[in-house]
Amino acid sequence: MNLKQTKTTLLLILLLIPFLGFAQVKLAKIFSNNMVLQQNEPIRIWGKGTPGETILVDFANEKQSFKVNQDSSWLVSFKSQKFNTKGQSLKVQSTGQKIELQNILIGDVWLCIGQSNMEWPMMREMHYKSEIKESNQANLRFYNPSYAGKNTYNIPFSDSIIKKLNPHDFYQGEWQISDSNTFKAMSAVGYYFGKRINQETGIPIGLINISIGGAPLETFISLNALKNDPQFADKTKGNWLENKSLPEWTKERGRQNTTGKKNIPSDEIGPNHPFKTGFAFQSGIEPIINMPIKGILNYQGESNAQEIERVNEYATLSALMVKNYRELWKNPKMPYYFVQLSSIDTLQYKGHLWPQFRDEQRKTLQMIPNSGMAVSSDIGAKNDVHPTNKKDVGARLAQWALAKTYGKKIIHAGPMPLNAKYKNGSLIITFENPGAFLSTSDDQSPRGFSIDGKNEIDAKILKNRVIIPLSEKPKHVFYAWKPFTDANLINSEKLPASTFKLKIQ
């Protein structure tokens, strides 16, 4: 080849490079080997490609084609399937390219959100060693991505973290089958929930875990939902690091990570960060809206429980988030199950408002239809915000789902107060979910009741009621109204009662 031919060849290669790079068809990040797709819903496959090019997709003996849109997007839909445990393959083809994924199951997909207690991995859970032999669960699958800035505390983010502080790169991971290695890093709450549901129903379970240690609830809510709500629009105004409507602790952590860093991606509400208002939603929820899911699991609240303003708005804020998710997924009855905060002393942690916060979470049940709350105040750690018994937490969430979503005839929750009446020298508190009878966890007299939120008073149990002798009618009755409580009321299924404050009738 002479010099002139060489130059011509090189010129052609240089001219073709942009087109060769752009021609690649891509699947959305949520798709990988070993994933679970939602049963009884249209199966949507989507991604990016070259505008105008035809994409061929083959799944479950059905073929679809799509001409890529001008914005490079493409999406095909397949008919719904009932759950099955036989792995299927997915093939995506375009000119000169083929992608093939293997071992895809059809089952129920649950989204896990929250902060560190949802993120808490199996390898640090109380029952981890004994659970290893149970961990090989072929029909339990995890999408458990890591995220930029994980475990980076009190110091500025590195340049490598900053490069990933954008919605596309923030979460990094792929689907995995549960075994003794993969389950180590998985949310312990999610693992125990999914395992129980699969064992009770036979349905393959997929868990998408986008929880973030320390995250406020606001990061999991879309900016549009907040902006369009008169009560919460202020959360989207100005630099989030200085916004008085957001939790103080999360802003402090945000400033520690971003101060002095000029190359962090930013917009009108400030620098990107895992705790930034709407950022986890933009990075983890919005990209999977095309994928139907079964429901939502949430263990969050510690970061929203340190100022009374944040406590008092939490139930309404939670209701806004769930409404937003249900609208986006076009599923107004999508199940939402969450964990009520546990117990902690105030000597080493700012847990002073936890009783009020737990009561706000209880009110959430009344505000959000088709929701459920797993009580965990009986298994808190006195001086640690991370109780390590996640097995009971996951099991209690599963009780709700088995009863309310899967139709099992079981008692799904602990005693919940219905009303409190004063009559003939006694305060009478009536409960729902008593089971066969009310009892106490240690066979002692009931503890945790007061009429001032401070000083406990004697109480006794009579079937599904608690009786408190009093000479005068009080204004309110409180239960488990301490940050770290030893309240002991349970039902016949040994499920604990919720913290509450009730007005006396």
Residues of the chain with CATH 3.40.50.1110: 110-404
Strands 205-209 and 97-114 come out as parallel
- Measured in whole angstroms, the distance separating CA 149 from the mean position of its chain's CA atoms is 19
Sign of CA dihedral 494, 296, 364, 241: positive
Q: What angle is formed at CA 256 by the lines to CA 252 and CA 259, rounded to 5 degrees?
A: 115
CA distances from 83 to 38, 154, 405 (A): 8, 46, 15
Tell me which residue has tokens 């508190």. Answer: 429
Smallest CA-to-CA distance from 43 within 26, 61, 19 is with 61
**Residue 156: burial class (beta carbons within 10 Å; 0-12, 13-18, 19+):** middle
pLDDT in tens, 417-434: 999 999 999 999 999 999
Assess if CATH 2.60.40.10 describes domain 22-105.
yes
Token pair belonging to 491: 């039902």
Residue 463: per-residue pLDDT? 83
Cβ–Cβ < 8 Å for 396, 495: yes
Per CATH, which fold does 416-503 belong to? Immunoglobulin-like (2.60.40)
Tell me which residue has tokens 């509400």. Answer: 269
Cβ–Cβ < 8 Å for 206, 36: yes
**Phi, psi of 323, rounded to the nearest 5 degrees:** -60, -45
Smallest CA-to-CA distance from 451 within 415, 424, 420 is with 420
Residue 19: per-residue pLDDT? 37
Residues of the chain with CATH 2.60.40.10: 22-105
pTM over 0.85: yes
Q: Could you tell me which residues are beta bridge partners of residue 439?
A: 490
Q: Could you tell me the maximum CA-CA distance found in the chain, to the nearest angstrom?
A: 110
Cβ–Cβ < 8 Å for 337, 298: yes
Q: What angle is formed at CA 312 by the lines to CA 307 and CA 314, rounded to 5 degrees?
A: 95
The DSSP string of 35-70 is -EEETTS-EEEEEE--TTPEEEEEETTEEEEEEPPT
Cβ–Cβ < 8 Å for 286, 170: no
- Name the superfamily (CATH) of residues 110-404: SGNH hydrolase (3.40.50.1110)
- Measured in whole angstroms, the distance separating CA 18 from the mean position of its chain's CA atoms is 40
* Rounded Cα distance, 141 and 93, in Å: 26
Cβ–Cβ < 8 Å for 414, 433: yes
* Rounded Cα distance, 404 and 372, in Å: 9
Residue 13: per-residue pLDDT? 41
pLDDT in tens, 68-78: 999 999 999 99
From first to last of its 505 residues, the chain has per-residue pLDDT tens of: 554 444 444 444 443 334 334 458 999 999 999 999 999 999 999 999 999 999 999 998 899 999 999 999 999 999 999 999 999 999 999 988 999 999 999 999 999 999 999 999 999 999 999 999 999 999 999 999 999 999 999 999 999 999 999 999 999 999 999 999 999 999 999 999 999 999 999 999 999 999 999 999 999 999 999 999 999 999 999 999 999 999 999 999 999 999 999 899 999 999 999 999 999 999 999 999 999 999 999 999 999 999 999 999 999 999 999 999 999 999 999 999 999 999 999 999 999 999 999 999 999 999 999 999 999 999 999 999 999 999 999 999 999 999 999 999 999 999 999 999 999 999 999 999 999 999 999 999 999 999 999 999 999 999 889 999 999 999 999 999 999 999 999 999 999 999 999 999 9
* Rounded Cα distance, 202 and 219, in Å: 34
